[in-house]
Amino acid sequence: MKNPSLPKIDLHIHTNYSDGLPTMAEVAKAARLKRLALAGVADHYGYAKGRMKPWRLRAYLAEAEAEGLLKGVEVDIFEDGHVDLAASERRLFDYVIGGVHEVAGVAFWGDPSPIPDPKGFVETVRVAVIEAIESGLIDIVAHLTWLPEDIRSEVNSLITPDWVDSVVKAAASKGVAIEVSGAWLVPDEWVVKRCLKEGVKLSMGSDAHRVEDVGNLSYPLSLFKRLGVKLEDLFIPRPLAPEA
């Protein structure tokens, strides 16, 4: 379902600079073909496995600029709330996405390891995300409410209204956006409603790792249409070009 009143803005696209398959040129071409109003690359960055290393950063930024793509980045939020980005690097990007990808040695994707204390686990996630928001280093929180395999089916009982409200209020106080993911179909509608109530901006992202997934925004666009989301509710890091 399309929402004709909102532009398609995909700020979460991975390339072969980290763990994605497409080149920058392929992403740019796909963005044009799919008529995205804005497209931004957001490759994983840092020293962990599958991350773009700092010595490739200059080439990454230059190529994104040459291809007309926004220069974003996705950094890890560690379980202690530390963000894997130096303050001096923050200014190099049009926006910074922060995401939790592992807690207590359990990865959030492809890892069926048992989690003996689910409530303690999600509390660690909550505190880490809030500390990352308060660091001033990130603009967007990615895949909020996504959980590892062992406890994913328990999300409705583990991610409580109080859990969400504390994160949303922190985001509101710091002007940090919450991503609505076309890949992972999170967060749920009730979470997005809380974001809107608190004035938290919403970001759209496909989290594409393949060229065919660039611009996969069906979930956020259909949700936004249902909720009456307006242009001013969106996180837009660069002014949109006037419509022809």
Cα Rg, the chain, nearest whole Å: 17
Is residue 240 assigned to a domain? no
Is residue 43 assigned to a domain? yes
Instruction: Report the amino acid identity of residue 70.
Output: L
Residue 34: is it exposed, middle or buried by C-beta count within 10 angstroms (0-12/13-18/19+)? middle
Total of domains in the chain? 1
Place of tokens 């398959």: 21
- What's the gap between Cα 217 and its chain centre? 13
Is residue 239 assigned to a domain? no
Domain CATH number, residue 138: 3.20.20.140
Expressed as residue numbers, the domain containing 97 is 9-233
Rounded CA gap, 92 and 56, in Å?
13
Residue 212: is it exposed, middle or buried by C-beta count within 10 angstroms (0-12/13-18/19+)? exposed
Using an 8 Å Cβ cutoff, are 203 and 165 in contact? no
What is the arithmetic mean of pLDDT over 219-243? 93
CA angle 218, 156, 115 (to 5 degrees): 110
Residues 6+ positions from 190 with CB-CB distance below 8 Å: none
Mean pLDDT, all residues of the chain: 96
Q: Which residues sit opposite 43 in a β-bridge?
A: 73
Written as one string, the DSSP assignment of 101-135 is -EETTEESSS-----S-HHHHHHHHHHHHHHHHHT
Is residue 4 assigned to a domain? no
Rounded CA gap, 234 and 7, in Å?
10
Residue 64's φ and ψ, nearest 5 degrees, are: -60, -45
Place of tokens 């909550």: 126
Q: Is the pLDDT of residue 3 over 70?
A: no
Question: What is the three-class DSSP state of 203?
Answer: strand
CB atoms near residue 203 (< 10 Å):
27
pTM of the predicted protein model? 0.95
Is residue 218 assigned to a domain? yes
Percent of the chain with pLDDT over 70: 97
- Give 50-62 pLDDT, tens digit per residue: 789 899 999 999 9
Is residue 206 assigned to a domain? yes
Is residue 244 assigned to a domain? no
CB atoms near residue 196 (< 10 Å):
17
- Give 161-189 pLDDT, tens digit per residue: 999 999 999 999 999 999 999 999 999 99
Provide the residue count of the chain: 244
Q: Is the pLDDT of residue 4 over 90?
A: no
Is residue 242 assigned to a domain? no
What is the arithmetic mean of pLDDT over 92-111? 98
